Amino acid sequence: MKLKQIVGLAGRYTASDMGITLVIALATCCFIWALQVATIVSSTSDFVANQRNPGFELVAGANGDPLRLSIHSMYNVLQLRDGLTQSEYYAVKESRGVKHAVPFLSGETVNSFGLLGTSRPEFLAWLSEKYAVDVPRDQVMCVAGAATGMSVGDVHEVNHHHHEAMEHNHSHSHSHCEHDQNIRVSAVLPPTGTWLDYRVICDAEILWHQHYDEWVHMFEESGESAPPMSDDFRVYSWVGVSVANPVLTDRIRQVFDVNSMHLVSTTQELRDIESAVQSVSAFTTYFDWLVALAAVLCTLLLLLLIRKSLVLRLLSLVLRGVGRRASTTVLSFTVMLQVLLGALVFVASFFGLMWITEGADSQWLGSWATIGGIAIAQNTVLVLAAILITSSLFLYLSVRKTSFDEFV
C-alpha cells in the first residue's frame, strides 16, 4: 500500500471518527497548554531566582509595605507608592554605621530590562569596593548589566511606565506619559550573579530632567506655565544600604522604622522570597515530565477504551487485502493526524489568546514567534512524541497482534 493511500485512509478515518478525533485533539491541546504554562512559570521563576541581592544588608524606602519594598528592590516589580526625598536620603546616608547608601529611581525599562537612575558617586564607590569594577567616567553614565545583551555604544529607547514615586511629591498629578527618549550605553558590567546583571543603571539626573520635561509639556498643553525644577523632583524610589558592621544592622533599622521610612533587612525578608521562588523553580523542573507521563497514561486509557473498534478497523482493513503491518500504519497515521489537529488547536488558541490580550500588533507577534516559538515547539514535540510513541506501541503490541476469532 502506498503512503498516499495510507494517509488518505487515515484522513478519512480522522474525519469519520469525529468523537474520538475531538477527544484526542483536545487532550493533546490541553497537555501542550499545561506544558506551556509550566514553561512560562519555570522561565519566570528561573529569571526571578537569578535576581539575587548584590550585597545590600538593608533596603530603605518610604513608609509602606515592607514586603513590597523588599520585592521591588529585588525584582523591580510591584511599584512603590511613595519615594524618598533628598533630605530623607541624606538622613539614611549619614546615619552612624552606614558605609554605602546607593539611591535608586525605578519606573522605566530599556529593552524590557529595568532602568534605574542613581547617584553616580555613591554607585561607583560601592561598585568599586564590592565588585572591584571601575566604570569609565563618561559625561553621561549608562551602565548595562551583563545579562542584558547590550554593548557599549548601543542606543536604546527608554520606555516610561510609571512615575508614582515622583507623582506623590507633586500636587499636579498626571497620567502616565508615553514620551520616549533614547540612551547610549557607556559601559557593560561583568557578571555578578545578582539583579545588577538584569538592570541598566544611569544618572538619576537624566531621568529627573526627562520627567520634568514631560511635566512641562503637560502644563503647556493646558496653557499654564510650569514651576521651575526643584528638589521636589529629585526623589528616589529606594536606597540600598551597606553597613560598616553587620552587628549594627538591627540598630540602624530600629532608628528608621520609627520615622517615616522603612529599613528592610534583606537577610530576613528576602530569604523567604528567594526560598519560595526556588521551590517553584524546582517543581516546574519535574512538571514537564509529569505532564508527559499524564499524556502517556491518558492515551493508553483512551486506546484501551476504544480497543475493540480499533481491532474491528484492523480486521476491516486486513479483510480488504491490506496487510497487518500496513493496517497498523494506517491506524497509527490516524492517531497522528488527530494529535496534530490537537497541536494546531493549541497553536491557534495560544496565539488567539495572546492576540486578544496583547492586541493585534504584528511586531509583537513577530517577537513571540521568535522568542516563544522555541518553547512552544519544544512542548509540542514533547507531547506529540509521548502520545505517538505510546499509541504506536499500543497499536503494534495490542491491536496488530490480535487474533480475529471474536470478530469474524
Partner 1 sequence: METTIAPSQILCVRGSGKSSTELRFELPVLQRGHLYHVQGRSGTGKSTLLSCIAGMLPFAGTITVFGKTISGNAQSTGTPELYQLSSALLQRHVVDPDLTVRSHATFVNSKRDFDSYLAEFDLLSMNKKKANNMSMGQQQRLGLAVVLAQHRDLIILDEPTAHQDIQYTRSIGSIISRMIHEGKTIVFSSHDRELLQSLDCPVHQFNNVVKPA
What residues line the site for partner 1 (CB under 8 A)? 5, 8-9, 12-13, 16-17, 312-313, 315-324, 401-408
Min separation Cβ 324 and partner 1, Å: 7
Is the Cβ of residue 392 or residue 402 nearer to partner 1 in the bound state?
Answer: 402
Given a contact cutoff of 8 angstroms between Cβ atoms, the answer to whether 263 and 59 are in contact is yes
Which helix (H) or strand (E) segment holds residue 125: the answer is: helix 120-131
Q: Give the nearest distance from C-beta 24 to partner 1 in angstroms.
A: 16
Minimum CB separation of residue 299 from partner 1 in Å reads: 22
Task: Please state the closest distance from residue 312 (CB atom) to partner 1, in A.
Answer: 7
CB 183 within 8 A of CB 142: yes
As to burial, measured by CB atoms within 10 angstroms (0-12 exposed, 13-18 middle, 19+ buried), residue 86 is middle
Burial of 272-282, coded b for 16+ CB within 10 Å and e otherwise, reads ebbeebeebbe
R_g of the chain, CA atoms, integer Å: 30
Provide the minimum distance between the beta carbon of 336 and partner 1 in the complex, in angstroms, as a whole number: 18
CB of 343 to partner 1, least distance (A): 24
Burial of 187 (0-12, 13-18, 19+ CB in 10 A): middle
Residue closer to partner 1, measured from CB, 337 or 386: 337
What is the closest distance, in whole angstroms, from the C-beta atom of residue 309 to partner 1 in the complex? Answer: 10
Minimum CB separation of residue 29 from partner 1 in Å reads 24
Nearest CB to partner 1, comparing residues 6 and 38? 6
Chain centroid to CA 68: how far? 19
Q: Which is nearer to partner 1, 315 or 335 (CB)?
A: 315
Q: Which of 103, 108, 113, 101 is nearest to 50 (CA)?
A: 113
Closest distance between partner 1 and the C-beta of residue 332, in Å? 17
Is the CB of 91 or the CB of 336 nearer to partner 1?
Answer: 336
Nearest to 136 by CA among 124, 149, 122, 148: 124
Q: Indicate the residue among 8 and 227 with the shorter CB distance to partner 1.
A: 8
Report the nearest approach of partner 1 to the CB of residue 320 (Å).
4
For residue 84, give the DSSP letter. Answer: B
What span, in angstroms and rounded, lies between the C-alpha atoms of 209 and 231?
Answer: 12
Nearer CB in complex with partner 1: 192/329: 329
Angle at 263 between CA 262 and CA 266, to 5 degrees: 130
Amino acid at 143: V
Nearer to partner 1, 392 or 398 (CB): 398
- To the nearest 10°, report the CA torsion of 149, 177, 367, 281: 70
Cβ distance to partner 1 smaller for residue 226 or 318: 318
Closest to partner 1 by CB, 18 vs 356, is 18
- Exposed / middle / buried, residue 371 (Cβ in 10 Å: 0-12, 13-18, 19+): exposed
Question: How do strand 155-160 and strand 199-203 relate by DSSP bridges?
Answer: unpaired
Neighbours of 260 (CB within 10 A): 12
